[in-house]
Structure 1
Amino acid sequence: MKIQYLGTGAAEGFPALFCSCPACISARALGGKNIKTRSCCLINDTVMIDLSPDIFWQSIANEISLSSITSIIFTHTHHDHLDRFALMLRCRDGASIMPHLPDSENFIDVYGSADVIRAIHEAFATQPHANPQRIHCHILEENLPIEIDGLVCIPIKANHMMGETCYIYCIIDGDQAFLYGNDTGGGLDKESFRTVIALGVTFSVVSLDCSRGTLIGDSHMGMDEISKLCGMLRENSLITESTVIYLNHYSHMCGIVPEEFDALIRASGMSLTYDGLTMLID
């Protein structure tokens, strides 16, 4: 399985858009891995998890052609994860010309909760030039596996926002399993954790929401919640010493620049993701 992090920041990015806190000032000066665009991830070059509002620059910086994307799996409807305008551009035939595809194959599959699919349908109402035939929508049901481009995807209920079903995802490719765990707060509820246990897998890579950093978690996790969740995963043999644990969706909220936070968490056997991070697991 190939995993490529196109963006690794929270909703406001890092440095935050209009922020002059010491951490954001330092990040601007330091550059490099301290610069974080809004989060999304690419699996095996064709399947994306979420569509960031920074996707134009992410595709340039990572030298990928978005015309090769066949499927997008959405976690929830927040605008830093579901960029409706970018998705509608894929549906505008004048904006996205696909000479390599016959018309019958010129579409992208999108997956998410009923709330996500509803938000996508509503976006078409504001885009009269968008062709609905360019998107095939699939509603995902909690805990029910679905095959997407040769991957097995299991949506797991997240603890993120009231009034909407949000998912994190277990992605399985052969004998490799990847847990993509943002956005979610306070770890996982008992039912969701039982679902993860029932999968019967040991994760090769675990990627967890760390928007809160050293702060107490809310609708996102901080280090206390992450440590507890990793302890539960370890106790149930879902992770081992060989599991790679990444913290992702990092924010300026705790006031620590990314490179300093990465150094802080490495003593716990974890690493902070960075834009462009790519790994092959086999």
Structure 2
Amino acid sequence: MAAAQALSSARRHFRSLELVLGLLLAGGMGLAVLFSGFLFPDGGESMDLMARLIPPFESLAHPLGTDPLGRDVLARVIVGGKISLTVGIFSVLGAMTLGTLIGLIAGYYRGFTEVLLMRFADIQLALPFILVAIMFLAILGTGIDKVIFFMIVAQWVQYARLVRGSVLALREREFILSARAIGVGNVRIIFTHVLPNVLGPIVILMTLQVANNILLESSLTFLGLGVDPLIPSWGGMLADGRTYLQTAWWVSVFPGLAIMFTVLGLNLLGDWLRDLLDPTGQTSR
């Protein structure tokens, strides 16, 4: 009976509307970006001034229209997604690695180490993110590497606090005490017994954070503090098209829709993972 219930629950999870929509939206955009080099060998940079500002759905060659320089909007939206997804994924991986390591150390060893690390985290949380980002990028300059580095430095705190709280609940559990009693070293306990038990919340936070970082990168690039304006990106396309909203709305609307659908898909996948990995947190349906 228990096995049948578990199987039924698994089927229900994998037939979830959140999973299906999340995969269609975020997965579809990810595949398009992955194969953008084959779909658009020119990288969306080919210009044709004779075909500038063609409205969407009026030309088979340019289904989403063209921008003020005659560049294909569809190609630039797909190619531009590479920047946003790269920033989102690599910044989250870096912040997760740094924050998880600090959280494991602070939660397991406690004492002065925990106080020092967590007070430093509290100070960083008190800093206004957008103002620090503007100052940081204005001093060091723009670029995808600098945006990723800043996001890692700014966001490790969330992972550290999450992991520390989970470790505090685990460190006095029977299986941890048994491992200590038989002489297992602290490092081995942390990475073989503690870490696997905190991966669920980390994965959920990572999924949601990728979506958040896509929005942050687009916002910073829109303000001129993100990636190089010459590189196609969603935030850059929004900035380029804002002066044409009344005459050529599609130049800004389609990059905005790409951001919205990608972020929505990732958030849906995050909610699905939360329900899958933490059944006690499910809401009734």
State TM-score, norm by structure 1: 0.20
Higher relative contact order (CA 8 A, sep 6+): 2
- The structure with the larger Rg is 2
Which structure shows the bigger proportion of residues in strand conformation? 1
**Which structure: greater helix fraction?**
2
